[in-house]
Structure formats: C-alpha cells, structure tokens
Amino acid sequence: MDSNNINYNEEVLKGGLIVAGVSILVTMLTYIINVELMVAWWYGLIALAISMGLVIYIGISLRNAIGGYMSYKESLKFTFLVLTVSYLVGAIFNILLYNVIDPGLPETLKELTVENTVAMMEGFGAPQEAIDASIPEIEKSIDENTTPIGILKATPWGLLFIFIFAAIASIFVKKNEAVSDRIN
C-alpha cells in the first residue's frame, strides 16, 4: 500500500473498532461463561494485554503500510486516537450492558467484588473494622460506575489512562529512519 492511498481517519476508526470489538467479544464470552471471572484480578490484566497487543499490531501495520517508518509522535497520536475510539465504543457498550442487556449485572458484580475484597483483606489480616468500613465504599463505587452518568463521568480518567497506555504502545510501534553519519 502506498502512503498516498491511506485514509488516516479511516485507519483510526477501523483500528478503534477492531480493539473495541475484540474487547466486547471477550467481555461477552466471559459474561456467558462465568460472570465471576469479570471481577478476578487477572481478568483485567489479560484484557489489558490483549488490547495492548492489538494496538501495537494495528500501529505496526499502519507503519508498514506508510513506508515502514513512524516517529514516536506520529505513533502516539495514532495509538491514542485508536484507543479513544475504542474507549468511546466500549463506554456505549457498557451503558447497554449494565442498563439494557442485564440491568441486574451491577448488583451481581457488586456482591462478587465485596466477597473478593473481604476475602483478600482477611487474607492480609486486616481488622474487621477496616473490612466493614470498606464495604460501603466498594458498593457505592460500583453503583456509581455502572450508571450511564457514572460511565460518562469516568471519561476524563479513562482518557488519561489510555494516553499512558498509548505512550507505552507507541514505544513498540515507532521506527525511525536510519540516519547516516557519512558526509558525501
């Protein structure tokens, strides 16, 4: 592919939709198989690794399509925009999941999260008072973060997170042209 034939906005949209689609697929498979997995600490790490791998792959694909070189700045811009599209699609999906597809899911996630947190705190030997004090905060957080307003209010923090994520992915995507130190 020649770099003149590439529509940058189309590539960003396509990449964002691919990352969002895979994320939604993983979420729905997990939801169907066992909702309890959604609150496991390692589930988030696996989802993050899959997204990171996809963003790097999509970025390298674009880099190769435009001639094999992409500066860190260009790479950061592209990966950030891809992740922003993915984030926005994911937010819409989460609103639908928590409010249309399964309105009871937030309550289930709340119960599972409280159980996991209590077990973890007991494992660390936390006093019962500290455990009891943390439960209302956990419940409030899940209640707030699964409503449409809560999901939208989290967007600035989400954008900060994806900027950091994009900055890391861009390290692997960028490739500078070799510079010769020879004087002709």
Q: Which residues of the chain carry a pLDDT beneath 50?
A: 1-2
The pLDDT value given to residue 1:
42
User: What does the chain come to in residues?
Assistant: 184
Instruction: Give me the pLDDT at residue 184, please.
Output: 59
pTM, two decimal places: 0.86
Question: What's the burial of 172, exposed, middle or buried (CB within 10 Å: 0-12/13-18/19+)?
Answer: middle
106 with 35: CB under 8 angstroms? no
CA distance 3 to 51: 25
Residue 4: the pLDDT is 63
